[in-house]
């Protein structure tokens, strides 16, 4: 019996069936993938920064504005040619760059421009009217009203000048941030146009001075002796000493525990042996605060630092500020060094302004914020940040009162005399922090303070990271205190 052709036909049909089934599976896989992309990944694709349609939509109409004291410091300009009809513009861009950030046709927005991008481009759902919903039109954009005081902002910017540094000013009673300055700055307008942004971006990112870094909020550095305020607060709150005028048990010279290293004072003739907290702040006695740190122990110091805001990586003002750090897991010699704001202690100007603000406000810290309100295009308030500011008790009113008094002594007849202002009650603390391995680089010059006059109050922190001053002339009083004084004068006397 011959089955050859029949067997061949059956075998062929099997091959066809298998190929058909395989092809059908491929079709099903393609359909499933298409469905997944269309319905589940559509939003992710729409939000992708490389999606050109997003930029076209964002810049199809003028953006909302960032407002300082009732005046817009941003704007929008009509472009010529291309599919991006408008671009962002800035008024006094370098002055306000640390506040606004930038909105670019080529790069993701930063600072307030980034946080409130949806509000400013009209895609925030809170902006939609009934008619917008019916017609599926994008809403008119809203505005961001800042807490920045233009006089204080300009005073800080002008006083810092060519120095590399940063400054922050806060109203202690309300938490309103009155100034945020970082130098060297940059003009956000150079990044707004997609045709020219690349050249500006390359220049800015290759600059060794890093002008795009917001030093006021996002560059924690060793705070040096300004951190002694935190140590003093811990010593008083713990009951180690009951008064800033009580003599302490502080040998001079002081040898770091477990070492042969003698901790020196900047002023070798200062009366630092067994000095009271007031005198120790007045002359910035390292021996006193290093010994206090060891007596208190790192756990108590860290607890006090954290009450002021250290080690908090969730601080939004609303820009996310980098955490200031009080370390853990140290031996006693390292703990002693943290008492003078060295070892691995770091702080931003915002953080040190918060320390002075809490002390000036009777021991209570009002949450700092640099946006007062956000509104729709008609001016109706969508969110009021002033109303939502929270208050936290940091130290007792008695401790705060004593620290205020001691800080006033620092300015009146101590290391901070360059911050004196006629007719203003000023309290402050200087700091000169070592920088680099074995202090090989120029020190950081710090000053943190508060001022009160005629029912007004302001708390300030300034750091000068680098200047043209000779190394021997670098000090908190010489470089940072004059900047703080200019800011306090602008806040209190205008």
Residue 75 domain-assigned (yes or no): no
Q: Is 213 in contact with 183 (CB distance < 8 Å)?
A: no
- The residues annotated as belonging to the active site are 225
DSSP string, 228-292: HHHHHHHHHHHTS-S-TTSBP---SSEEPTTS-PEEPPSSTTS--TT-BHHHHHHHT-HHHHHHH
Full residue range of the structural domain in which residue 383 is found: 218-493
Residue 91 domain-assigned (yes or no): no
Spell out the residues 6+ positions from residue 220 whose beta carbon is closer than 8 angstroms to its own: 322, 323, 324, 325, 346, 347, 348, 351
pLDDT, tens digit only, all 494 positions of the chain = 555 665 555 556 777 777 777 777 777 777 777 666 666 655 554 555 555 677 888 898 999 999 999 999 999 999 987 889 999 999 999 999 999 999 999 999 999 999 999 999 999 999 988 776 667 688 999 999 999 999 999 999 999 999 999 999 999 999 999 999 999 999 999 999 999 999 999 999 999 999 999 999 999 999 999 999 999 999 999 999 999 999 999 999 999 999 999 999 999 999 999 999 999 999 999 999 999 999 999 999 999 999 999 999 999 999 999 999 999 999 999 999 999 999 999 999 999 999 999 999 999 999 999 999 999 999 999 999 999 999 999 999 999 999 999 999 999 999 999 999 999 999 999 999 888 766 667 899 999 999 999 999 999 999 999 987 777 678 999 999 999 999 999 999 87
370-380 pLDDT, tens digit each: 999 999 999 99
Q: How far apart are CA 86 and CA 374, in angstroms?
A: 22
Gyration radius of the chain over CA positions = 29
Residue 11, pLDDT score: 59
For residue 75, give both structure tokens. Answer: 């704007």
Residue 45 domain-assigned (yes or no): no
Residue 339 domain-assigned (yes or no): yes
Spell out the residues 6+ positions from residue 301 whose beta carbon is closer than 8 angstroms to its own: 230, 231, 234, 293, 326, 335, 338, 339
3-state SS assignment for residue 473? helix
Residue 443 domain-assigned (yes or no): yes
Q: How far apart are CA 177 and CA 171, in angstroms?
A: 6
Q: How far apart are CA 482 and CA 473, in angstroms?
A: 14
Q: Is 204 in contact with 184 (CB distance < 8 Å)?
A: no
Residue 29, pLDDT score: 76
Q: How far apart are CA 249 and CA 233, in angstroms?
A: 17
Quote the number of domains for the chain. 1
Residue 89 domain-assigned (yes or no): no
Residue 302, pLDDT score: 98
Residue 82 domain-assigned (yes or no): no
26-43 pLDDT, tens digit each: 777 777 776 666 666 555
Residue 105 domain-assigned (yes or no): no
For residue 179, the surrounding DSSP H or E stretch is strand 177-183
Spell out the residues 6+ positions from residue 305 whose beta carbon is closer than 8 angstroms to its own: 230, 311, 326
CATH of the domain at 251: 3.40.710.10
């Amino acid at each position: 019996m011959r089955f050859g052709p029949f067997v061949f036909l059956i075998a062929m049909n099997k091959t066809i069936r298998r190929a058909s089934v395989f092809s059908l599976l491929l079709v099903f896989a393609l359909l499933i993938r298409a469905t997944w992309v269309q319905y589940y990944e559509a939003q992710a694709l729409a939000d992708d920064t490389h999606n050109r349609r997003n930029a076209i939509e964002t810049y199809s109409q003028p953006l909302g504005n960032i407002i300082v004291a009732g005046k817009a410091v941003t704007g929008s300009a009509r472009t010529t040619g291309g599919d991006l009809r408008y671009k962002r513009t800035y008024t006094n861009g370098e002055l306000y760059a640390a506040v606004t950030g930038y909105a670019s046709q080529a790069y993701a927005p930063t600072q307030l421009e980034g946080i409130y991008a949806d509000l400013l481009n009209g895609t925030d759902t809170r902006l939609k009217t009934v008619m917008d919903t019916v017609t599926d039109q994008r809403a008119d954009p809203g505005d961001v009203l800042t807490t920045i005081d233009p006089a204080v902002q300009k005073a800080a910017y002008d006083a810092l000048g060519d120095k590399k540094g940063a400054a922050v000013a806060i109203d202690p009673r309300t938490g309103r941030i009155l100034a945020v300055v970082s130098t060297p700055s940059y003009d956000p307008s150079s990044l707004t146009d997609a045709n020219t942004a690349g050249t500006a971006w390359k220049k800015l990112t290759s600059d060794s001075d890093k002008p795009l870094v917001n030093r006021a909020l996002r560059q924690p550095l060793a705070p040096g002796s300004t951190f002694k305020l935190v140590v003093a607060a811990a010593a008083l709150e713990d009951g180690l000493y009951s008064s800033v005028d009580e003599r302490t048990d502080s040998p001079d010279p002081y040898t770091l525990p477990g070492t042969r290293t003698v901790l020196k004072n900047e002023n070798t003739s200062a009366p630092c042996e067994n000095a009271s907290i007031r005198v120790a702040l007045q002359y910035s006695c390292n021996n006193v605060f290093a010994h206090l740190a060891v007596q208190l122990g790192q756990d108590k110091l860290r607890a006090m630092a954290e009450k002021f805001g250290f080690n908090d990586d969730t601080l939004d003002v609303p820009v996310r500020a980098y955490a200031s750090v009080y370390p853990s897991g140290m031996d006693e010699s390292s703990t002693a060094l943290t008492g003078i704001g060295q070892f691995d202690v770091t702080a931003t100007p915002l953080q040190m302004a918060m320390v002075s603000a809490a002390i000036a406000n009777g021991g209570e810290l009002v949450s700092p914020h640099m946006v007062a309100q956000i509104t729709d295009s008609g001016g109706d308030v969508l969110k009021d940040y002033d109303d939502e500011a929270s208050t936290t008790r940091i130290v007792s009113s008695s401790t705060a009162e004593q620290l205020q008094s001691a800080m006033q002594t620092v300015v009146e007849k101590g290391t901070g005399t360059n911050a004196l202002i006629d007719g203003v009650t000023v309290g402050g603390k200087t700091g000169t922090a070592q920088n680099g391995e074995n202090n090989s680089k120029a020190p950081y010059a710090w000053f943190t303070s508060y001022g009160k006059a005629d029912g007004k109050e302001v708390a300030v922190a300034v750091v000068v990271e680098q200047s043209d001053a000779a190394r021997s002339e670098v000090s908190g009083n010489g470089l940072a205190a004059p900047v703080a004084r200019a800011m306090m004068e602008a806040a209190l006397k205008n």
